[in-house]
Amino acid sequence: MAYHSGYGAHGSKHRARTAPDSPPLFDDTSGGYSGQPGGYPASGAEVAFNVNHLLGDPMANMAMAYGSSIASHGKDMVHKELHRFVSVDKLKYFFAVDTAYVAKKLGLLVFPYTHQNWEVRYSRDVPLPPRQDLNAPDLYIPTMAFITYVLLAGMALGIQKRFSPEVLGLCASTALVWVVMEVLALLLGLYLATVRTFHLLAYSGYKYVGMILSVLTGLLFGSDGYYVALAWTSSALMYFIVRSLRTAALSPDSMGGPAPRQRLQLYLTLGAAAFQPLIIYWLTFHLVR
């Protein structure tokens, strides 16, 4: 299976199957996502009570409001800095999504085992935008998932009467720092020549989806439900990352390097996948009690 990163810099050699010319990226870029919590079954009355308790707690509502302000402020700062150092045209590619893509991608992240074709599709040596190719990485889902994680963390801390602006800020900054460190580690591991930074950022950010599902399940069903959801989402994310990054690192355009380097790339892919459950657990276990 071949994966080609970039925006057509390698030519048309060994490209995956070619699709018709793609229309402009932003004809329809609305989208959203939601997750359904899983875990041990509970009666309808118990789940309804838990939901009402979560939504009716004044402390939780205040925490969510403060978390929303932090997330919005952080989003504005990120956009401002990105416009200074990053090509907007390149960045638009990773946000060219629609509702259908978001729904299918969330399903793939939660249950990737039946997906067969992991190749990224090209049109005239340019990768198709995410809304036309399910295998294309995007930054919309990681961005929205990060914001949702911050809001959910604030609500969880408020329910447990442990909320404070400092704690929520530390929670948000820690989650962001972990992703940055992970991307830098992969880049230093010789991925720079084969997998682009934005692609790594997208794959690293998909973990927030599993973190949201794990915390939601823990809040609704307790610690037992949390660990069940944690095990499921972690294994699914590991499988997804191994298949996606292995396809990217071992694409035909990147097979010209020495064999030791190819083996190193494979080992780094497996190591990055194995590290995901630890990060998810470290960033979520304190939110469920």
Per residue in 135-192, pLDDT tens?
A: 999 999 999 999 999 999 988 888 888 888 888 888 888 988 888 888 887 777 655 4
**210 lies in a domain?**
yes
For residues 235-266, one letter each, b for 16 or more C-beta atoms within 10 angstroms of the residue's C-beta and e for the rest, the string is bbbbebbbbbbbbbbbbebbeeeeeeebebbe
pTM for the structure as a whole: 0.69
**273 and 168 assigned to the same domain:** yes
**164 and 252 assigned to the same domain:** yes
- What's the average model confidence in pLDDT over 78-88? 58
- Supply the pLDDT for residue 232: 96
Domain span at 171: 137-285
- What's the average model confidence in pLDDT over 44-65? 60
**83 and 141 assigned to the same domain:** no
- Supply the pLDDT for residue 233: 96
- Supply the pLDDT for residue 10: 42
- Is pLDDT of 70 > 90? no
In degrees to the nearest 10, what's the CA dihedral of 235, 137, 104, 238? 0
- Supply the pLDDT for residue 266: 72
- Is pLDDT of 193 > 60? no
Confidence of residue 34 (pLDDT cuts 50, 70, 90): very low
**48 lies in a domain?**
no
**279 and 169 assigned to the same domain:** yes
Q: What is the CA radius of gyration of the chain?
A: 20
**268 lies in a domain?**
yes
**83 and 201 assigned to the same domain:** no
**184 and 80 assigned to the same domain:** no
Question: What is the secondary structure of 212-281 as a DSSP string?
Answer: HHHHHHHHHHHHHHHHHHHHHHHHHHHHHHHHHHHHHHTSGGGTTS-HHHHHHHHHHHHHHHHHHHHHHH
**84 and 188 assigned to the same domain:** no
**79 and 182 assigned to the same domain:** no
- What's the average model confidence in pLDDT over 223-242? 94
Cβ contact 226:217 at 8 Å: yes
**115 lies in a domain?**
no
Q: How many domains does the chain divide into?
A: 2
**255 lies in a domain?**
yes
pLDDT digits (tens, 9 = 90+) for 252-283: 444 445 566 667 777 777 888 888 899 999 99
**219 and 153 assigned to the same domain:** yes
Q: At 29, which amino acid appears?
A: T
**223 and 280 assigned to the same domain:** yes
The fraction of the chain above a pLDDT of 70, given in percent, is 62
- Supply the pLDDT for residue 2: 42
In degrees to the nearest 10, what's the CA dihedral of 135, 176, 183, 207? -40
- Supply the pLDDT for residue 29: 47
Question: What is the secondary structure of 105-174 as a DSSP string?
Answer: HHHHHH--TT----PPPEETTEEPPGGG-TTS--SHHHHHHHHHHHHHHHHHHHHTT---HHHHHHHHHH
Question: What is the secondary structure of 16-70 as a DSSP string?
Answer: -PBPPPP--TTSS----------SS---HHHHHHHHHHHHH-HHHHHHHHHHHHH
Confidence of residue 55 (pLDDT cuts 50, 70, 90): low
- Supply the pLDDT for residue 32: 44
Confidence of residue 114 (pLDDT cuts 50, 70, 90): very high
**109 lies in a domain?**
no
**243 and 184 assigned to the same domain:** yes
- Supply the pLDDT for residue 3: 42
**245 lies in a domain?**
yes
Cβ contact 137:202 at 8 Å: yes
**51 lies in a domain?**
no
Q: What are phi and psi of 18, to 5 degrees?
A: -90, 135
- Supply the pLDDT for residue 230: 96
**252 and 155 assigned to the same domain:** yes
